[in-house]
Amino acid sequence: MLTLLRLPFDCVLGGVPPLPSRPSPSDESVAPCRRLRSSPRQPSAFGLERLTPAHCRVASRLHVQPEARRQTMSREETCEARIDRELAGRVRDLGLLWDFQCAGKDDPELGSLSDYGLCFDFVPVGTFDDQAEAYFRYQISWGGPSDEFRFFVNPDLTCHRVEYWFLDWFDGASRVCTGDAGRLMHTIWDWFRESGLPRQAMKEAQD
């Protein structure tokens, strides 16, 4: 049975209140996220029943773009320059949504944690060039730019690493989630795992 903790969150990057310690520790290919049906124990997970695979596609590193877009990109900030504030915003949103989830309520502006992301799927080894490790992808946005959290897990589905990726046309940057942000994402992963989403995503990836 999923146990939710009542946690007050008012966070910016590096300022997420500490969580209880956890018991467990660019290519042009496009990989579609699998459409998932909700778990009986988490009936509205991400509203995925309302999504189609076309809604949630992301390129590993590079997107094809017209020359005009390429020239515009040179005048914009790089993903590396933007990623820390983008991650700060996601951590803030997810912290607030987790707080409301624990209280059994929806945020008046953001809605519910169950509907915040675009999709949750499993990305097997070799899906992208030079990809040596499988991961679970919690995709938040899609297009240019897109962003996602990647969960790297042990055989028992406990999580040993969470990465945040911010991707734009011919550009991309990533961060390993550590400290308070890492503890928050590990807590959210445990919620995913206890809802049955990871096993369902692996099954969908094999079909």
pLDDT tens digits for 3-19?
Answer: 333 333 333 333 333 33
> What pLDDT digit, counting tens, does each position of 39-77 carry?
322 333 333 333 223 333 332 222 223 333 344 444 578
Per-residue exposure over 130-165, b if at least 16 CB sit within 10 Å of its own CB, e if not:
ebeebbbbbbbbbeebbbbbbbebeeebebebbebb
> What pLDDT digit, counting tens, does each position of 18-36 carry?
333 333 333 333 333 333 2
Task: Record the pTM.
Answer: 0.67
Nearest one of 194, 125, 127 to 159, comparing CA atoms: 194
Listed range (21-35, 115-129, 144-158) with the worst mean pLDDT: 21-35
**CA–CA distances in Å: residue 54 to residues 38, 63, 140, 143:** 18, 16, 14, 11
Q: Which residue ranges make up each domain of the chain? A: 79-206
**Three-class DSSP labels, the chain:** CCCCCCCCCCCCCCCCCCCCCCCCCCCCCEEECCCCCCECCECCHHHHHHCCHHHCEEECCCCCCCHHHHHHHHCCCCHHHHHHHHHHHHHHHHHHHHHHHHHCCCECCCECHHHCCCEEEEECCCCCCCCCCCEEEEEEECCCCEEEEEEEECCCCCEEEEEEEEEECCEEEEEECCHHHHHHHHHHHHHHHHHCHHHHHHHHHHC
* Residue 176: CB atoms within 10 Å: 12
